[in-house]
Amino acid sequence: MATSSGFMKRRSTISPKGFLDTVFFCNQNNSPSLSEYCIDLSQHGASVSKQAIDKRFNESTKAMFTNLLGEVMSHQLSGKAKKTASKKWFTDIQIMDSSEFAVSKRAAGTFPGYGGEGREALVQIQFEYQLLGGKVTTLSVGSALDSDSIEGMKNLDQIPAKTLLLRDLGYCSPKAFKELSKRDLYFISRAKSQWNFYTLHNGECHLLTTADIIGKLNQAQGKYIDLDVFVGEQVRTPVRLIANLLAEEQKKKRLKKKSANRKLGEDALESIGLNLFVTNVEREKCAASEIYELYTLRWQIELVFKTWKSVMQVHKIHGMNPIRLECIILIKLLWVMLNWSIVRYLRNLTGLDLSYHKVHRTILSRSKRISSIIMKSSELFTEWLIDLCGISERHHVKEYKKGSKSIPIILSQATSH
């Protein structure tokens, strides 16, 4: 891989393995200086200057790290996944979102931001994973100006039919819903009150207004209304529209957040107390309340992003030239994948609902042991994993807030029909 990327053209003081070992383990939770790289490389018998190291961060190195991340993505460490009741309705449940962080404005040409102090350059990481299978299906780097809606439609050909997609509103539109349904993919998404909803009556489509929805909710016997509608003025995609009214306290919080930086129009104020969802999951499979609870699983990806930043420090990168910055980000994503694969393996091995955050903290505290064995002996690495498995069974089981449902319970209840 080093040869094909152009990193290694002839014998050099800096070997590909030594270079990878140094930059990989130095970047596990910080952004080291060139001097620190030099000191670490000396352990591999390489005595080099800061300038020599700096020159090594080039397009060839970026190509090598990109190819390496691709290899890791296609050969993820795994065990046999535990069968769940959810497989009865869905091939899998895939959750997608993006996370962004600011970098030095020197990188504004590579990672343009929105402008303004501290927002001149923003890195955006697109991430998607399978909730049941545990496999990462998307992990890519771009700028904050990249469109979520375009990114979300890129890999649809690789998603098996009957997979349930849980995504933020930025990825969704009536046009996207039509394409997903056409490909026999399920979705649950929040809906915008500004979208046009139509009901069919006597063979004619009638516009369903926000006031109509609120009126139906006030007359409803239960907490939710569940309507068959068409969404989108042009595409008119058939979906289920599920709505409920927020509690007064929730309504106040949403109003405060939405009106913080802008004045809300009459339509926005009218819909502030509404929760709107659209889905193409059949009613006989999941009731309205179960659709709502399935959508709450999307927030698991926010916990992943929080772990990346609080434990792995993926966003802590000091100012440097753009090409070196791209290489460092790729290295940090390789760390993400190693940790993700270990957690996935432990979950499959133990059959327990393990905390991603807790396992990551333990891996970080024991990472010096990894650095001494991972590139030397698969047997020693296996022993390290067995030891970590025992720790996980005792200390890493996920804890839930009182009154909240665990992921296994939500999945089992949503497929109990």
Question: How far is residue 266's CA from residue 286's CA, in Å, rounded to a whole number?
Answer: 34
pLDDT, tens only, 225-250: 999 999 999 999 999 999 998 888 88
- Contact assessment for residue 59 and residue 31, using Cβ atoms and an 8 Å cutoff: no
User: Is 266 exposed, middle or buried, given 0-12, 13-18 or 19+ CB atoms closer than 10 A?
Assistant: exposed
Local structure of 203: helix, strand or coil: coil
Asked whether residue 27 carries a pLDDT value surpassing 80, the answer given is: no
pTM for the predicted model, two decimal places: 0.89
pLDDT at 370: 79
Sign (positive/negative) of CA torsion 115, 116, 119, 121? Answer: positive
- Contact assessment for residue 304 and residue 136, using Cβ atoms and an 8 Å cutoff: no
pLDDT, tens only, 177-227: 999 999 999 999 999 988 999 999 888 889 999 999 999 998 988 889 999
Query: Hey, which bits of 110-183 come out as E strands?
Result: 122-130, 136-143, 164-167
DSSP one-letter code for 202: T
pLDDT, tens only, 51-109: 989 999 999 999 999 999 999 988 875 545 555 656 678 999 999 999 999 999 999 99
